[in-house]
């Protein structure tokens, strides 16, 4: 006995057997009952939802020898021939292969001749949107004045590609994707009838993978039965559908939620041995986090078919929404930075570690888990830059910035695009008031004079769980932070993240006293500076100075902020590094001998001071 594919064997023979699409079938049945037979029907919907199946049943309804109606007999010659696909008056055309106007003319030339066997001559044109413009025009003429004995059934996945002139002459029926549950039920009934062993998990997987298409579901089922040697087991269906990877993603998600580093690294090793693409894996994790977040916000939200509902729900309950947001952000950054990591596995591991050990910044307080403060994670470059500001060379920056703060706007604009020559502070220091000279920036003795504040700050920090390993802080005074170096130290100690960090790095602090200061915020970033953020900054600074800080915010149009100073400084270092490469005798001889070239902008300074 030859094996007949399930989709063909189980093709519905009447409206009752059609899975889903009740809205379409009810409308058709009602029209047929009342004898209202239109001359052109259009069935739209994605692949495998029953467009041509319904059209063929409709053909039987029109031509059944027992009389036209909603329930064809299935026994007469016409019904049987339609089922067998050899009814002479049902002309099926695949427009995808016959798009030309000649094809259409040939077809339509015969329209005028009466039907030979049935009551009606029916043209079933599948993928009708594929017809050429000329073919549509030829078709339109017939549709405008169709002979009584001719009916057109069109099916398409892309109704928008059909000319309006054609659409307006058709009764249109939109078929929908089928819900998983309906497909699942159908498959179960069918396997029972076929006497094939199956477990529910396997059917569920197939129903989901079919994405609403019965035909796809049946094709997958055929494949799975062949794969499982006549049986249907979930493990094999999962292997067939490539769902093992999905399980792996969910398992990693669970490890992140439970902060189970040991288990997570076992999974990573396993993935490594299986030669998993870590970038793709990270992408899947990002997709998972997105789905979990959606599910948290909208408990009824549909789950992407690539994920198991159960996994997503479990994670939605296990991870706090704010943790989830942070994990998502970390994962996105991790994916972006993957290209810079020594290898994908290392990058993946670091990203996972960050997800497990960082918790989101609560209002006004950094809350590091596992000892690593969150502010360190996203901004290693910034920390490095901050460290650089402590090298002797950067002593120039305060000198330069102090006067800049006092200077008229245009001077700063030039200073932002400064050439190295301007690094020499001479002309600017002339404008610097005495109170702003670097001498004032020797903070050490003052800091030591503040033991009480020191203790207070620490207590406060412990209480807020704030930046507790930013050890060198304590005993801050706003008065010490009037230069870029001091301000950057204060920013780092406060552990600002996100917008707060952005605001601070684009501001200049001008202290008025130990606890009072003006913060001049770069105009371009002023929008970020909302009252709650201002208050957060003020509170964080209060903790650091161990007293209630008084902050006045104002807009600074163009003062060189720490961020700008750092950028300029970095450009200068690169320029110097590039220059030293050019001057290097060995490089010079390489160029001479091998016609080598240095690639502009590829030079990276390796020492803090280029
Ligand atoms: Zn019949």
DSSP 101-169: HHHHHHHHHTTTSPPSSSSSEEEEEETGGGS-HHHHHHHHHHHHS--TTEEEEEEES-GGGS-HHHHTT
Has residue 28 been placed in a domain? Answer: yes
Instruction: Please determine, for residue 128, whether its predicted confidence score (pLDDT) is greater than 90.
Output: yes
- Residue 22, domain CATH: 3.40.50.300
Distance 138 CA to ligand 1 centre (A): 33
Residues 248 and 211 occupy one common structural domain? no
The per-residue pLDDT for range 201-256, each reduced to its tens digit, is 889 888 888 889 999 899 889 888 888 888 888 878 877 776 667 788 889 999 99
Mean residue pLDDT across the chain: 77
Average pLDDT over residues 486-509: 80
- Contacts of residue 249, defined as CB under 8 A and 6 or more positions apart, other chains included, come to 281, 284, 285, 288, 307
Report, as an integer, the average pLDDT of 143-151.
Answer: 91
- In whole angstroms, what is the distance from residue 307 CA to residue 208 CA? 9
**pLDDT at residue 452 greater than cutoff 90:** no
Three-state SS at 475: coil
- Asked, for residue 555, whether it belongs to a domain, the answer is yes
Q: Which residue range is the domain that position 394 belongs to?
A: 381-405+442-560
Report pLDDT digits (tens) over 381-408. 444 444 443 433 333 333 333 333 333 3
Contact 548, 567 (CB under 8 A): no
Q: Average the pLDDT over 503-521 and give the result.
A: 85
Instruction: Compute the distance from residue 85 Cα to the ligand 1 centre, in Å.
Output: 14
Ligand 1 centre distance from Cα of residue 84 (Å): 13
pTM exceeds 0.85:
no
C-alpha 540 chain-centroid distance: 34
* Banded pLDDT at 561 (limits 50, 70, 90): low
Same-domain status, 280 and 301 = yes
Report the distance separating Cα 261 and Cα 254, nearest Å: 11
Helices (H), 242-308: 244-258, 261-273, 278-297
CA of 82 relative to ligand 1 center, distance in Å: 9
- 62 CA distance to ligand 1 middle (Å): 9
- The answer, yes or no, to whether residue 372 has pLDDT greater than 60, is no
Same domain? For 277 and 348 the reply is: yes
Q: In this structure, are 391 and 527 located in the same domain?
A: yes
Is the CA virtual torsion 128, 132, 133, 135 positive or negative? negative
Q: Which residue has the tokens 């990002």?
A: 286
For the cut 80, the answer to whether the pLDDT of residue 417 exceeds it is: no
What pLDDT does residue 435 have? 37
Map tokens 């008065």 to a residue. Answer: 479
Nearest-angstrom CA–CA distance, 495 and 515: 19
38 lies in the same domain as 133: yes
For ligand 1, the distance from its centroid to the CA atom of residue 279, given in whole angstroms, is 58
Between the CA of 121 and the centroid of ligand 1 the distance, in Å, is 16
Q: Tell how far the Cα of 66 is from the centroid of ligand 1, in angstroms.
A: 6
Rounded mean pLDDT, 436-460: 37
* 4 CA to centre of ligand 1 in angstroms: 24
Residue 430 belongs to some domain of the structure: no
**In the predicted structure, residue 418 carries a pLDDT above the cut 70:** no
Number of domains in the chain: 4
Q: How confident is the model at residue 153 (pLDDT cuts 50, 70, 90)?
A: very high
pLDDT at 266: 92
590 located within any domain: no
In a domain, 568, yes or no: no
What is the 119 CA–ligand 1 centroid distance (Å)?
A: 12
- 3-class secondary structure, 550: strand
- Going from the Cα of 45 to the center of ligand 1, the distance in angstroms, rounded, reads 27
Share of the chain above pLDDT 70, in %: 74
Which residue has 């739209």 as its token pair?
A: 44
pLDDT tens sequence across 38-75: 999 999 999 899 999 999 999 999 999 998 899 999 99
Report, as an integer, the average pLDDT of 259-276: 87
Cα of 83 to ligand 1 centre, how many Å? 10
Asked if residue 255 and residue 338 are part of one domain, the reply reads yes
């Amino acid at each position: 006995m030859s094996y007949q594919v399930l989709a063909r064997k189980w093709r519905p023979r009447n409206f009752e057997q059609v899975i889903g699409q009740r809205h379409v079938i009810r409308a058709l049945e009602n029209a047929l009952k009342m004898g209202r037979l239109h001359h052109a029907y259009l069935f739209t919907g994605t692949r495998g939802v029953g467009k041509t199946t319904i059209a063929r049943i409709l053909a039987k309804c029109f031509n059944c020898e027992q009389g036209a109606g909603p329930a064809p007999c299935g026994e007469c010659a016409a019904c049987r021939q339609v089922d067998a696909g050899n009814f002479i008056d049902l002309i099926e055309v695949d427009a995808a292969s016959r798009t030309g106007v000649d094809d259409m003319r040939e077809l339509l030339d015969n329209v005028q001749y009466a039907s030979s066997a049935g009551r009606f001559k029916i043209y079933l044109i599948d993928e009708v949107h594929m017809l050429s413009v000329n073919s549509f025009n030829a078709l339109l003429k017939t549709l405008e004045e169709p002979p009584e004995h001719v009916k057109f059934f069109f099916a398409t996945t892309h109704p928008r590609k059909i000319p309006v002139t054609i659409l307006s002459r058709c009764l249109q029926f939109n078929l929908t994707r089928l819900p998983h549950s309906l497909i699942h039920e159908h498959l179960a009934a069918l396997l029972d009838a076929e006497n094939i062993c199956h477990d529910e998990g396997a059917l569920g997987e197939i129903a989901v993978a079919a994405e609403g298409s019965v035909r796809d579901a049946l094709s997958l089922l055929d494949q799975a039965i062949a794969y499982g040697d006549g049986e249907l087991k979930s493990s094999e269906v999962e292997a067939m559908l490539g769902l093992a990877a999905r399980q792996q993603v969910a398992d990693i998600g669970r490890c992140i939620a439970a902060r189970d580093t040991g288990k997570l690294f076992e999974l990573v090793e396993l993935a490594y041995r299986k030669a998993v693409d870590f970038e793709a894996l990270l992408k899947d994790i990002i997709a998972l986090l997105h789905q979990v977040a959606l599910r948290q916000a909208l408990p009824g939200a549909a789950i992407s078919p690539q994920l198991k509902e159960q996994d997503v729900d479990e994670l939605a309950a296990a991870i706090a929404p704010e943790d989830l947001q942070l994990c998502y952000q970390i994962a996105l950054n991790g994916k972006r930075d993957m290209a810079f990591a020594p290898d994908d596995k290392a990058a993946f591991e670091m990203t996972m570690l960050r997800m497990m050990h960082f918790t989101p910044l609560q209002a006004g307080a950094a809350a590091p888990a596992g000892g690593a403060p969150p502010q360190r994670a996203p901004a290693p470059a910034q920390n490095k830059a901050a460290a650089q500001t402590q090298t002797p060379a950067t002593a120039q920056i305060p000198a330069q910035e102090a006067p800049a703060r006092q200077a008229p706007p245009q001077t700063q604009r030039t200073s932002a695009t400064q050439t190295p020559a301007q690094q020499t502070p001479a002309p600017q220091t002339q404008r610097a008031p005495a109170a702003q000279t670097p001498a004032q920036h020797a903070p050490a003795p003052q800091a030591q004079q503040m033991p009480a504040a020191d203790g207070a700050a620490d207590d406060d920090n412990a209480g807020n769980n704030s930046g507790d390993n930013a050890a060198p802080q304590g005993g801050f005074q706003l008065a010490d932070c009037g230069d870029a170096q001091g301000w950057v130290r204060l920013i780092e100690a406060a552990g600002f993240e996100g917008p707060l960090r952005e605001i601070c790095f684009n501001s200049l602090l001008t202290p008025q006293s130990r606890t009072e200061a003006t913060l001049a915020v770069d105009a371009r970033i002023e929008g970020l500076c909302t009252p709650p953020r201002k208050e957060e900054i003020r509170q964080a600074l209060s903790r650091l100075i161990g007293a209630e800080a008084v902050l006045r915010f104002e807009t600074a149009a163009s003062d060189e902020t720490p961020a700008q100073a750092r950028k300029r400084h970095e450009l200068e270092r690169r320029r110097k590094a590039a220059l030293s490469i050019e001057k290097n005798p060995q490089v010079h001889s390489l160029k001479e001998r091998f016609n080598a070239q240095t690639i502009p902008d590829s030079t990276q300074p390796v020492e803090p001071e280029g």
